[in-house]
A and B are shown apart, each in its own frame.
Chain A
Amino acid sequence: MAKLFLFAIGGTGSRVVKALTMLLASGVEMRNVDRVVPIIIDPDSSNGDLTRTVDILKTYKEIREKTFSEEAGFFKTRISSLDELGDGGFVSDNFRFDIDGVKEQLFKEFIGYSELERNSRAFISLLFSKPNLDADMDMGFLGNPNIGSVVLNKFKTSDSFVKFAGNFEQDDRVFIISSIFGGTGAAGFPLILKNIRDAKHPIPHHSFLRDARIGAVTVLPYFAIRQNDETTIDSNRFISKTKAALSYYARNVSGNGAINALYYIGDQVTNEQEGADGSNKQRNRAHFIELAAALSIVDFMDLRDEELHVSNGVASDPKFYEFGIQHESSSIHFGDLGKETYDLIARPLTRYTLFQSLMENHYEELCGNKNEAWLYHGNNKLCEGALDARLRKSIGNFDKHFREWLKEMADSNVAFRPLDATLAGRDIYNAVTGRPAKKDFFKRLADGAHLHHYRSVLSKLAADYDHLDSSRKLIALFSHATRDIADKEIKL
C-alpha cells in the first residue's frame, strides 16, 4: 500500500500534524494509505510546537506498535519516521528534518554574502533587505519566507531528501502543510513543491517525484499575535502578507499546475496568541482550524489516484478546496459542523474522550477492585500489574496531550467545544457538549453515574478480545466499548 509523505512545515505544520495525530489516535480513518511519514521541517528546533508534536508522534508510534490489531479503533493508522523506511539507515532524529549549519548564524552568513562577487552581492542586496540579511537563523525566518526559500532549500541537498526520494514509490503521495503568513511554512511549501517537481538526476526516483500526487493545505491567518516586547511579528500585517503570498501562489503554485489538490483555510482574525519570536516560547494554543486542516489530509487521501493525474510535472486537473461548517458560532459544537465533518470526527473524538477519561480518572481506582471484570477476567488481564507499565505511561502521556489539545481548542477563538474531557464519574457520558446522554437512562441511574454503565459495557465486551495480549486488548476493548456508548447512550 501507498505511503503518505507528510511535510509539516513550521509551527503551523507541527500543530496540524498534532491535530492529525489526535484524529488518527481517535480512530479517524485515512484511506489509500498504510503508512503516514511525517517530516517536520522547522529550523527552529526548539520551537515549542515542534517539540510537543514530536513527543506526541513518538508516543503515538510507541502506543500503536504495542496496541495495533485488526480490532483496534484507536491508533490504527501507521505513522513512521523516515528512518524506518527502506534500508533503515539512520538519517534524522525521527520526524524532524534538521537543517545543518543554520543555527547560530545570520542569513547573510548562511549565503556567504560578503564573499559574493560584487555584482551578485549587489543583486542579493536588492532582493533581500538589510533586516533580511541580518536575520538570525536561530529564530526561524521571523515571517520572512523569502529568506526561508533559500535556507530551507538546504533540504534539497540533505540526506533526508535523498532518503525521501529513494523511498518514494509511484503510488505514494505527498502532502504539504504550511501556513502562508509565517516564515518557515510559507517558504517551505513552494520550495518542497518545486524541488519535487524540479527533481532531476541524480535524485533517486526523480521521475516519480516529478509526477507525484501532491496535496497541500495552506493555512491562512486565523489568529492574531498579542503585541508584546518579545516579538517582532506584527500580526497586523498577516493579512497583507497573506494577500501577497496568495498572489504569488496564484501564479507560481496554484495557477501553474504544480499541485494536485490545494486546501485553503483561514479565519477572520479575532483570536489572540501571545507573541513570541520562535524558540520554545512559540507554543501556540491549538485551534479548530488546525483540526480542520488535518482533515484536509484525510480528505486528500480520500481522493482516488486517477483524480490526481500528473504528467511532466504538471497536474492535469488541480483541485482546490475550502472548508465550511453548518452553523456559525463562537463556540463550535459537533452539531455546528457540516455533516461530513461530523460523520468523520464526532464519534472518534467522543470515543477517545471516553477512553482517556476513564483511564485518567478511574483506571487506578478500579484496579483496586479485583471484581472489576474487564480488568481481571480472562487470560490477558488489563489491570495495573498486567498492563505494560511503559504503555500505560505512554497512554497517560498521550491522553494528557489530547486533553490539552481539546482544552486549548475550547479556549481559542473560534472556540471548539464539542467535548468536555474532564468529565468523570456519573457525568462521563455528558462529555459531548449540547448532547447529554439520554434522559430515561439518566433517570434510571440517578445516582449510579455513567461510570457504572461504562464499566458494565467494558466488562460485557472484554471477553471478545481476550485473544489479544493485554496491550492490544485494552485498545480493542475500549474502541468497541466507546463506540457502543457513543452510538447507544450518547446517540451520536
Chain B
Amino acid sequence: MSKIFRLHQKGSENIDHWQAISGHLTKDHINSIADPSGSTAHTQITSIPSPFARMDLVRTAFEFVNSSKNLDAATIYHRLVSDCLDVAEIFFNLEALQDKIEVLQWSTGMRVVAGELDIDPSSDLGHLLNGSASAKHRLLGETMKMYLFQDRSAFNFAEFKHCYLLNYKQGPEIINIIGGTSPATLFFSSANDLSYVDIRFGNDKVFDDHYVPLYKRNKEFVKFLFSFRSSFPEFSVRFPDVHAYLDATYALLDRELKDAIRLAEGDVNAYKHSYDLLPVVAEGNNAEILGVPLRVKNYGVSPGTEDNDFVIQPDPGKSVEGFVPLVLPKEAFNEPLRYAGGTWQSSYSESVPYLDERPLAERTLPNQHHIKYPYLTVSDLLQPYLIRLPYPIDDKRFFDGNYEVRQGDKDHSYVLPLKKKYFEYFSAAGLRGRVSDGKKRIELVQMAGGVKVILRVPVPGGRYVQLSRLYNFNQLQDSIQPANEKENVGIVVDNQFTLAVYPWLRVTAPDFNPHYRVLLVDRDVAVATKQNNYTVSYYREARPFEPIRPLAVKPRSSKHQSTGVTTTYYVLEENFDLIEVVNNTASGMLIPLFEPLPMPSRAFRFAIDFGTSNTHIEYKDSREDITRPFEISEKDVQVGTLHQPGEATESHLLNPKLGFGAIALLGIIREEFMPLQINRGIQYKFPQRTVINDNGSFNPDDSNFALADFNIPFWYLKEDRGLNSEVTPNLKWSDFRNDKRLERRTKAFLKQLLLMIRNKVLLEGGDLAATEIVWFYPSSMPVFRRRFFQNSWNTYYQRYFPGGARMYKMSESFAPFYHYYHKENVRPHDRPAVNIDIGGGTTDIVIYQSENPILLTSFRFAANSIFGDGYGSTSAANGFVQHFEGKIKESLSNTKAGALTHIYDVIKQKNSKSVELIEFFFSLEENKTIKDNRIPISFSRMLAEGTEFKLVFIFFYAAIIYHIARLMKARGLAIPEFITFSGNGSKVIRLAGGGNDLGSLLGYTKVIFGEVYGEGAVPAMEFRLTANPKEITCKGGLECADPSRFDALEEQILVTLPGVDGVTTVPPAALKYTELQSEAVVSAVVGEVSAFIDFFFALNGRYNYYQYFGIDGKGFAEYKELLKSRIKSDLIDGIRQKMAEVEGNADVPVTETLFFYPLVGAINRLAFSIQKNNI
C-alpha cells in the first residue's frame, strides 16, 4: 500500500516520488482535509499571508460552511460567518445604533490611469505611500498596495474604493473597530475579542459564542440581504461564497419570508425604495460596496411590534400616536415573553436602564440596540422626588395612590409621583384600577426609610410589568438630597401646599363652558424649600402633553410677606382631568375625582337682594312653593380641597414639627377664597355683608376675576383674619369714577354671587338655561347707576347661565309687598297698605291697593343714617360707637372671645366708617366664638334695653312715617290699613318699639297719620314685621310671577314728595336736579324740615315719649335746638352729594325727596349729643 504525503482526501491514489497532479489544490481538496480540532477552535485563524488575511478568512469561512451543507454547526468558520452577519446586521441597523457606533471610512484610492492600476495620492492609502510619509508607513502602504494589485481578481480589489469601518464608541480603546465592509464577502469582522460589544439582535448578543446562521436572524434583515443581492450586478460572480450561502439560507426560510423575498426579487427598485442610503462622514457621501450603495434600514418605517409581548397596553380611550412603546421589566421577570424577535431572558433585566436620556423616539432597545423603538423606563413614568404633604389627602376628591399608613398617624399623604407622560398611555381611571391578577395598578408602600412606589404597567395577554422606585426620606436638614434616577433612588421631599378647586363639579356636556378657579397655597417656608415657586398645570386626559392655557394666573399673597403663604389663582375655562404641580425640586400629579352630577332637570329661581350693607339670596325650585335662603351645606360643598377638610387636619397642621403657622394653609382659603359651607348652622351665611376682599394691590387695568383677585369675605367681622385682606364695603353706592378699583370690586361681588348660584344649580341638578334670577334695585338709584348694575348682571348672567333668558330686575320696593300679599295675607282691599323697606342705605316705600302697587317712593334715609357718620363726620363723633365701643370691648376682653377685639381694632384702623364698626357690634351675637362660649353679648339687646338712644330711633321712625303720611295725603290716599316692614334696617323699628311689642309704635304711628291727615279718629291699622326682615325682599321677588312688568309700573307710580311743601309731588310737578340748588327750594325744604322737628317734639304732648317709650324728656329742648341748628348746611351737603352722584345726568326730574337730607346730619349729631349727655 502506497502512501501519499498529503492531507486531503481527493485526487489520485497513485503517487510515486514527486508526481504532477491535475491541478492545484482547490476548495474541494481543502474541504476534504479532516480537521480534528479546527471545528471547535475558538482562537482566530491568522495563517493567511496577506495584510487582508481577515477578509480572506471570512471568505474561506463562507466557503467552508457552504460546503459543509450545515449552516448550524459550531466550527470556527461558522463563528466567522456569524460574526460577519453580526457586522452586516449592525450596518443594517446603524441608525438605531448611533449612540454606540460611528462609521469611519478608509479609502484605497484605487483607480486606473492609462490602463494601469494606480493609487490616488489623496486617498488614505495614497497618504501612506506619499514620499513624505515615514518609512514605516510607506512600507505598510507599499505592502497593502502590492496585495491589492496582486490579489485584485480574487478580492475584487480593482473596484475596492472604500472600506467602511464600524467604530464601537464604548469599547476599551480609543478606536474600537469591530468590523467593516469587504470587497470579498460584503462584510467582515475584527479578530479581536469583541465580547465588550453590547448589542443584541433578538436573543443573540453579537460576537458571542452562540453562532447564529442567517436563516435564524431577524426577517427584515434577511430580506434586506436578499434584496441587496438582487440589486447587485453580478453578485454571484463578485461574492460567490456569500451568494451560495444565501441560496443555502433561502431553503431554510419559512414560506412567508420566502414569498416576500421572491416578490422583492421581482421588483428592481425594491432595494432602492425600501432602504435608506448610509451617509458617512458627510451628507451625500454614501457608503458603497464595489460601487453599489450600501443601504440600511429605514427607521421611519414601522419596525413592527407583532413579535413583541412587551408593548404596553394603553387604557381605553388612549390612542398613542406613532409607535406604542414597550415597557421592560427591570425586576425579576422570567416569563418567556417574545421580545424583539427573540425571547425575553431573565438576564436581560440587568441591561434595562432606570433612565434613558434619549428622547423616546431616539431610543433603541436594551439588549437589542439595533432596534430603534421607544420603550419606557421607570424614570419616564415616575418622578425623581416624591412630595409628602403635611396632611391626609381628601381621598374622596383626589386619588391617594392607594397609600395606606401602616405605622404612625394619618397625618400625611403623598402626591402621585407620576410624570405626565404616563397619561399619554394610561388613564386616570386605569391608574386607579387593578391589573389582571387583582393587584393595584399603583401602590405607595410605607417603608422604614422611605416610600416604595410600585407601578404595574399592563401589557397584552393579561400580563403586566412591574416598575418600582424607592424614595428615601430626605436626611438633610437644610437642603434636599439629590435623587438619582439612573440608580433609581428617589427622595421624599416635604412640601407644604394645598389646592382648592372651585367649583368641585364637572359638566361633560360638549358645549358647556366651565368656569374654574384653582387656588394653590404654598407654605414652603423651611430652609430647604423656602425658595420654591409653584406652577400648576392642567391637562385634559386626552391631551396630557398639552397643558390647558389658563385664562389668567393671579398671584395674590406672598409667603415672603407677613401672610407666610403664597397664593396663586388659576382661572380656567376648560375642563381638566389631571393637575400637575411643579416646584423648584419636585413635581407630581393630582387626579381629581369629580363625581357625576345629577341630570339637569330642575328649574330654579333665585332672588338676589344686593343691599347697601347686606346682601341676601333666596331661591326656590320652580315646582315647589317653599323659598329657602341660599345655603351651601356639607352635601353640596362647592370647594374641593386637596387636604381632608375637618378638625383632624387642622390639628395635624398645628403640630410644631411643621413649623409655626402651618394652619395658614387652611386659613388662607377661608380668607381669600371660599368657605366650604355657608348656612345657618355656622357663621358664614346669608344675609352677608356687602363687602369684597382683595389684596389691595390688584391691577384694575388687567382682567380681574372673582374668586381670584377678589372674594366675598364671609368671615368679615366674624373672625380675626385679614392676613392680606383689604375689605371694601359700600359697593352699592361707591363712586367708580374716581377709582376704577371700586367698580372692579363691585362687579366681582356680583360675579361671585352668580358663580355660587350657578354651581348650586349644577350641584342640585338644575338647568342653567332655565335658571331665573331676580335682582333688586332701589327706586332712588339714579338711572345711570341702575343701568350699570343692569349691564353687569346681564353680562354675568349670560356668561354663567348660558342660554338663560330669565334675568329680571325688580324694584326693591315691590318685592316685600308680594311676600306680604301672598304669604302673610296682607290684602288691603279697603284701604291701602304701605310697605316700608328699610335697608342700610335706602328706604323704599310702596303703597298698594289690593294687589296693585299704586305708589312708590324711595329715599336715602335708612339704617346707615342712624349709625353712620352723617355728612363727612367720623366715628370719633359717632354717638353709638363712642358709647358702646368701650363697653363691648371690655365685655369681650374678659371672655374667650377676647381676640375679637382685634378684629374691631383692625377694622377701625383700616376703615373708620362707623357703619362698619356698628355692623361689627351687631354681628357679635351671631359670632361662632360668642355662641360657642355662650357669652351673653348682644348689641341689639343693649340698644333695645337701654333708653339712651331710643330718642334717635323714634326720631328716625317718626321722620319716615311723617313723610309717608304727607305723601299719601298729597296724593289723596286713605290712611293705610296695613303697614309692613322689610329690609335689614327695619330692625331699628324694634329698637324704636322696644322689642317685640310694637303696640306703642303702632299707636304712635296712628297719631302721626291722624295729625298729618288732620283727622281725630284714625281707623284701625295693622303692623307686620317678621323676624328676618332682610329676607322679605327676596321672598317677595320669588313670588312675583312676572317681575318684568315692574319696569313700566315703576315709572308710572314713582312719586316723589320733594319736601318743598306738603302738596307738590313729582310728578305731576317736574322739579329737576338742576333746580335743587336754588335758594327757593333750599329755604322751602329748610322750612319743611324745621316744621317736622317742631312737630316731632310737639307730639310728646299727644303721645308721651316717656310713657310709651321710656324716653326721658329732660333734654328735649336741647335736642330740638341741636336738630334744627344746621338744617340748611346739612341740606346743602346732601344736595351736593346727590349732585355729584348724578353729574352729567342732572337734567332729569328728582326721584328723591330732599326732606331727609338735613335729617341725616341731624340724627348723627343727636346721637352724639345723647352719648355725651350720658357719660
Q: Residues on A close to B: CB < 8 A? A: 110-112, 115-130, 132, 143-150, 153-154, 156-157, 180-181, 186-191, 194-195, 197-198, 220-222, 234, 236-237, 239-252, 254-256, 258, 262-268, 289, 292, 295-296, 299, 318-329, 337-341, 344
Complex interface: chain A residues within 8 A of B60 (CB): 243-244, 247-248
A455 to B663, CA, bound (A): 133
B15 interfacial contact with A, CB 8 Å: yes
CB <8 Å contact, A119 and B46: no
CB <8 Å contact, B17 and A324: yes
B149 interfacial contact with A, CB 8 Å: yes
Question: A127-B51, A153-B146, A328-B1 are contacts. A146–B46 as well, Cβ < 8 Å?
Answer: yes
A239 to B38, CA, bound (A): 7
User: Would you give the shortest CB distance from B452 to chain A, in whole angstroms?
Assistant: 46
CB <8 Å contact, B140 and A111: yes
Complex interface: chain A residues within 8 A of B38 (CB): 236-237, 239-240, 243
CB <8 Å contact, A145 and B48: yes
Complex interface: chain B residues within 8 A of A120 (CB): 106, 124-125, 127-128
Complex interface: chain B residues within 8 A of A266 (CB): 5-7
The list of the 10 closest CB pairs from A to B, nearest first, reads A324-B15, A241-B47, A240-B38, A254-B24, A112-B136, A338-B16, A340-B17, A146-B53, A251-B154, A129-B191
CB <8 Å contact, A240 and B175: no
CB <8 Å contact, B151 and A322: no
CB <8 Å contact, B26 and A323: no
User: Would you give the shortest CB distance from B33 to chain A, in whole angstroms?
Assistant: 6
Given contact pairs A255-B154, A267-B6, A327-B2, enumerate 17 new A-B contacts (beta carbons under 8 Å).
Answer: A112-B140, A132-B191, A150-B51, A189-B49, A194-B146, A220-B7, A236-B36, A243-B60, A245-B49, A247-B56, A248-B56, A258-B150, A320-B20, A322-B19, A323-B18, A324-B16, A344-B17
Question: A243-B33, A247-B56 are contacts. A116–B137 as well, Cβ < 8 Å?
Answer: yes
From A193, which residue of chain B is reached at the shortest CB distance?
B150
Complex interface: chain B residues within 8 A of A157 (CB): 139, 142
CB <8 Å contact, A149 and B150: no
B738 interfacial contact with A, CB 8 Å: no
A147 to B143, CA, bound (A): 11
B167 interfacial contact with A, CB 8 Å: yes
Question: A116-B137, A121-B175, A299-B18 are contacts. A237–B192 as well, Cβ < 8 Å?
Answer: no
CB <8 Å contact, A255 and B24: yes
User: Would you give the shortest CB distance from A473 to chain B, in whole angstroms?
Assistant: 34
B11 interfacial contact with A, CB 8 Å: yes
A-B contact pairs, 5 of them (CB 8 A): A119-B104, A194-B147, A198-B149, A266-B5, A324-B4
Complex interface: chain B residues within 8 A of A255 (CB): 24, 26, 154
CB <8 Å contact, B46 and A132: yes
A112 to B193, CA, bound (A): 23
Complex interface: chain B residues within 8 A of A191 (CB): 49
Question: A244-B57, A324-B16 are contacts. A144–B3 as well, Cβ < 8 Å?
Answer: no
Q: Specify which of A128, A147, A327 lies most central, judged by the most chain B CB atoms within 10 Å of its CB.
A: A128
A186 to B27, CA, bound (A): 18
Question: A241-B47, A244-B57 are contacts. A324–B143 as well, Cβ < 8 Å?
Answer: no
B105 interfacial contact with A, CB 8 Å: yes
A325 to B36, CA, bound (A): 25
A195 to B41, CA, bound (A): 33
A325 to B193, CA, bound (A): 44
- From the candidates A194, A250, A323, name the one contacting B150 in the complex (CB within 8 A): A194
CB <8 Å contact, B124 and A117: yes
CB <8 Å contact, B37 and A127: no
Complex interface: chain A residues within 8 A of B476 (CB): none
From B141, which residue of chain A is reached at the shortest CB distance?
A120
CB <8 Å contact, B35 and A111: no
A250 to B28, CA, bound (A): 11
A209 to B83, CA, bound (A): 41
Complex interface: chain B residues within 8 A of A241 (CB): 45-47
A54 to B125, CA, bound (A): 39
CB <8 Å contact, A237 and B41: yes
B1137 interfacial contact with A, CB 8 Å: no
Complex interface: chain B residues within 8 A of A325 (CB): 2-3, 5, 16
CB <8 Å contact, B19 and A321: yes
User: Would you give the shortest CB distance from B1163 to chain A, in whole angstroms?
Assistant: 102
Interface of A is mostly: helix
CB <8 Å contact, B76 and A240: yes
B86 interfacial contact with A, CB 8 Å: no
User: Would you give the shortest CB distance from A20 to chain B, in whole angstroms?
Assistant: 14
Q: Specify which of B27, B51, B137, B173 lies most central, judged by the most chain A CB atoms within 10 Å of its CB.
A: B51
CB <8 Å contact, B106 and A123: yes
CB <8 Å contact, B33 and A239: yes
CB <8 Å contact, A117 and B18: no
Complex interface: chain B residues within 8 A of A323 (CB): 4-6, 15, 17-19
B508 interfacial contact with A, CB 8 Å: no
User: Would you give the shortest CB distance from B807 to chain A, in whole angstroms?
Assistant: 82
From A182, which residue of chain B is reached at the shortest CB distance?
B47
CB <8 Å contact, B6 and A239: no
A181 to B143, CA, bound (A): 21
CB <8 Å contact, B49 and A236: no
From A126, which residue of chain B is reached at the shortest CB distance?
B177
Complex interface: chain B residues within 8 A of A337 (CB): 17
B50 interfacial contact with A, CB 8 Å: yes
CB <8 Å contact, B45 and A237: yes
A240 to B18, CA, bound (A): 25
A222 to B5, CA, bound (A): 9
User: Would you give the shortest CB distance from A223 to chain B, in whole angstroms?
Assistant: 12
Complex interface: chain A residues within 8 A of B143 (CB): 149-150, 153
CB <8 Å contact, A239 and B35: yes
CB <8 Å contact, B17 and A143: no
A338 to B18, CA, bound (A): 9
B909 interfacial contact with A, CB 8 Å: no
Question: A265-B5, A328-B1 are contacts. A197–B56 as well, Cβ < 8 Å?
Answer: no
B52 interfacial contact with A, CB 8 Å: yes
Question: A248-B56, A322-B4 are contacts. A117–B127 as well, Cβ < 8 Å?
Answer: yes
Complex interface: chain A residues within 8 A of B88 (CB): none
B153 interfacial contact with A, CB 8 Å: yes
Complex interface: chain A residues within 8 A of B5 (CB): 222, 265-267, 289, 292, 322-325
Complex interface: chain A residues within 8 A of B34 (CB): 239
CB <8 Å contact, A111 and B149: no
B165 interfacial contact with A, CB 8 Å: yes
User: For residues 40 through 82 of chain B, which have their beta carbon under 8 Å from a beta carbon of chain A?
Assistant: 41, 43-57, 59-60, 63-64, 76
B268 interfacial contact with A, CB 8 Å: no
A129 to B63, CA, bound (A): 22
From A157, which residue of chain B is reached at the shortest CB distance?
B139
CB <8 Å contact, B7 and A242: yes
A296 to B149, CA, bound (A): 30
User: How does the 8 Å CB contact mask read for B616-649 relative to A, with 1 for contact and 0 for none?
Assistant: 0000000000000000000000000000000000
- From the candidates A126, A132, A237, A249, name the one contacting B43 in the complex (CB within 8 A): A237
User: Would you give the shortest CB distance from A13 to chain B, in whole angstroms?
Assistant: 14
A220 to B19, CA, bound (A): 17
Question: A149-B49, A248-B48 are contacts. A111–B136 as well, Cβ < 8 Å?
Answer: yes
User: How does the 8 Å CB contact mask read for B185-227 relative to A, with 1 for contact and 0 for none?
Assistant: 0001011110000000000000000000000000000000000
B897 interfacial contact with A, CB 8 Å: no
A124 to B191, CA, bound (A): 12
User: Would you give the shortest CB distance from B124 to chain A, in whole angstroms?
Assistant: 5
Complex interface: chain A residues within 8 A of B37 (CB): 236-237, 239-240
Question: A127-B51, A191-B49, A245-B48 are contacts. A328–B2 as well, Cβ < 8 Å?
Answer: yes
CB <8 Å contact, B41 and A112: no
